Amino acid sequence: MQKRTYIIKMVGAALVLLFLAIVTSGCMEAQADDPNMETIESVLALQFNGPDRELLEAMWNPANKKLVDGVEVNEAFDSYVADTYGPFFTASELDVFMRVFGTYFISLADIYGYELVLKDVDIEQSEQVGNRYSFTAKVAFQQAGGKKQHAEVDGIVLFSTTEPGKIGKLTYTSDQDLSQRLKQ
């Protein structure tokens, strides 16, 4: 009788563990398939693989710049940004992001001769605010012939509540002095 009770308890425990494993793997799969996480990864890949020569050429080529009503206009750069980053951002955030963060690491890497490689990204969705995500991007960087170095860049992303799947705000909050290390 004790042996039978023991077997029933073991089978019950095994079923509970199996159930927990299925539920846990289902949650992990749901996170991996979260299109917002894929959007964040795509933007970080654009930011931390390169520098992006096509973006730099569009941005710095004097032939792409002209004055219109006293304002410098760069249609090649605007077009490249709209095509490359536009699918991921709301129109208002795309402009802000590109002016504040979008060209920062790319330009530093180019100016100081570094190659950036996005190694990994950890993303977590906020439990309190469904459209808020935090991320840590693991970035390798190296000058030609130099030692490979690593840094982590942390940030926060808020997805638009009116334009599903579009980033309404992306902010880098910490870069482990990556920007300073690129300047050396």
Tell me how crowded residue 118 is: count the other CB atoms within 10 A of its CB: 18
Distance CA 20, CA 26 (A): 10
Same domain as 130, residue 166: yes
Mean pLDDT (whole number) for 5-30: 38
Same domain as 44, residue 134: yes
**Structural domain includes residue 77:** no
Mean pLDDT (whole number) for 162-175: 97
Same domain as 42, residue 11: no
Same domain as 44, residue 28: no
Report the CATH number at residue 170.
Answer: 3.10.450
Q: What predicted TM-score, i.e. pTM, was given to this entire model?
A: 0.81
- pLDDT per residue as tens digits for the range 84-110: 999 999 999 999 999 999 999 999 999
Number of structural domains in the chain: 2
**Structural domain includes residue 70:** no
Same domain as 45, residue 29: no
Biggest CA–CA distance in the chain, Å, is 93
- In the structure, what pLDDT confidence band is assigned to residue 184 with cuts at 50, 70 and 90? confident
- pLDDT of residue 149 exceeding 70, the answer is yes
Same domain as 16, residue 44: no
Same domain as 144, residue 178: yes
Residue 5 domain boundaries: 1-33
Under DSSP, is residue 6 helix (H, G, I), strand (E, B) or coil? helix
Contact 65, 75 (CB under 8 A): no
Same domain as 104, residue 139: yes
Same domain as 159, residue 138: yes
**Structural domain includes residue 7:** yes
Report the pLDDT value the prediction gives residue 47, as an integer from 0 to 100.
98
Same domain as 126, residue 114: yes
What value, to the nearest 5°, has the Cα angle with vertex 67 and ends 65 and 71?
A: 110
